[in-house]
Amino acid sequence: MKVDVSSEKSLLAPGDQAVSFAELFFDLVFVFCVTQVVHLLHGTFDLVHAGRALLVFWLVWWAWTQFTWALNAADTTHSRVQIATLVATAFAFFMAVSIPKSFEESSWWFGGFYVAVRSVGLLIYLWVTWTHTGMRTAVKTFGAFSVAGLLAVWIGGVLGGPWQYACWGLAILLDVLAATIGGNNDGWNLHPSHFAERHGLFVIIALGETLIVAAGGASAESWDGRLMIVAILAVGMTTAFWWMYFYKFKDQLEHHLAMATGSQQSTMGRDMFSLFHYPMLCGLIVYAYAIGEAMLHPYEPLSSDARLALALGITLYSLSVVLAYWRATAIWKRLRILMTFVIAALCIMISDVQPAYTFSIVLAGLLVLCVLEWMEGPNLPTTH
């Protein structure tokens, strides 16, 4: 069969393109995915439920981030790429539907649609590398380990039980190995602005989920003054979280990614965004659980599980931003680290008080941190 080379070349991204509407539509399904992962923690925060949430969210996150790498390399305005993205969106929807029972009767369902989403992303990479020989070596290495990981997820979903944990854990190891070895190649040809914007949008998705949890809890209960106060404080904390990432850190990560070249750029993109954003987003999921518990019981002292979740969520989110910034600049944000541990310690130590009091202390600490970092001023020029 004769290949239309001119058409194939148009599958390559023309440059640092803007995020397309097809990508935004794809992201909407992952709003649902994040909501479903939070539901895995509903009512219980122990090692079993937290472990399940971590396993499932890694797979959800890796499906999304691999697709982001693929679309970063592809021309997202090309009709073939857009159709593939829409197909992957449909697969991701059914994957999301199965998340609450992904360790029960729906494990095979989740595994099958997860493999389908990832496979579409690999297919887009195949199309792009058809005419981009420099990227072909990088994709071959990444794809070989990825296929093994996909097989492990599918087998684990079919077998269920202890084998599911073992196979899905193996899949995570293979994913990290694929990223570690594949990322060392210099043929990825990253477009920094598009790449950073896509990950920033996912952070927005997770932040929005915490507001959805607060809104859901508020709408399910009779409105009174105390519930209103808890909701307002939850919105305030989430707004502070937005500031802690988007005020200057996101732009500086993008700036340093743009300054890097070759394998240095690909490994930096892998570490700062694909790997270090995972614990950051896990922090927001755990934080959302704490918000949900507070909204359900606004007059009762915040339980030890909820306080632990709140402290852990703040710590994971805040320090993951620090870790990503260190990877870009080799500078540790010591003020952020100190304030994070102080706020987390207060969450755990202050017990037998209603959620409004705990949230007030946390919000005050976060606002102090935001003001102090604002007073530092911008450290680096941004790419804008």
Per-residue pLDDT at 150 exceeds 50: yes
Q: Are 163 and 198 found together in one domain?
A: no
Is 6 part of any domain?
Answer: no
Q: How confident is the model at residue 221 (pLDDT cuts 50, 70, 90)?
A: low
Q: What is the pTM for the complete model shown?
A: 0.90
Q: Cβ distance 196 to 238 under 8 Å? A: no
Domain boundary among 128, 155, 182: 182
Per-residue pLDDT at 31 exceeds 80: yes
Is 147 part of any domain?
Answer: yes
Stretch 77-103: mean pLDDT: 94
Is 8 part of any domain?
Answer: no
How many independent structural domains does the chain possess? 2
Q: Are 44 and 94 found together in one domain?
A: yes
Q: Are 141 and 222 found together in one domain?
A: no
Which pLDDT does position 4 carry in this prediction? 43
Q: Please list, in sequence order, all residues whose beta carbon lies within 8 angstroms of the beta carbon of residue 302, skipping any fewer than 6 positions away.
A: 290, 293, 294, 310, 351, 353, 354, 355, 358
Least confident of 5-9, 307-311, 354-358: 5-9
Q: Are 310 and 215 found together in one domain?
A: yes
Alpha-carbon distance of 305 to 288, in angstroms, equals 13
Q: Are 243 and 338 found together in one domain?
A: yes
Alpha-carbon distance of 367 to 377, in angstroms, equals 16
Which pLDDT does position 220 carry in this prediction? 58
Per-residue pLDDT at 5 exceeds 70: no
Per-residue pLDDT at 309 exceeds 80: yes
Q: How confident is the model at residue 384 (pLDDT cuts 50, 70, 90)?
A: very low
Q: Are 134 and 260 found together in one domain?
A: no
User: Residues 364, 368, 374, 379: is their CA dihedral positive or negative?
Assistant: negative
Most confident of 125-129, 145-149, 187-191, 353-357: 353-357
Q: In whole angstroms, how far apart are CA 73 and each of 3, 22, 129, 180, 384?
A: 20, 15, 9, 19, 21
Which pLDDT does position 11 carry in this prediction? 78
Cβ–Cβ contacts within 10 Å for residue 3, how many? 9
Q: How confident is the model at residue 242 (pLDDT cuts 50, 70, 90)?
A: very high
Domain carrying residue 214:
192-376
Q: Are 152 and 291 found together in one domain?
A: no
Per-residue pLDDT at 64 exceeds 50: yes
Domain boundary among 128, 157, 182: 182
Q: Are 142 and 205 found together in one domain?
A: no
Q: Are 165 and 219 found together in one domain?
A: no
- Name the amino acid, one letter, at 45: F
Q: Per DSSP, what are the bridge partners of residue 12? A: 74
User: Residues 108, 64, 167, 188: is their CA dihedral positive or negative?
Assistant: positive
Q: Are 94 and 208 found together in one domain?
A: no
Q: Are 144 and 196 found together in one domain?
A: no
Q: Are 62 and 41 found together in one domain?
A: yes
Which pLDDT does position 112 carry in this prediction? 94
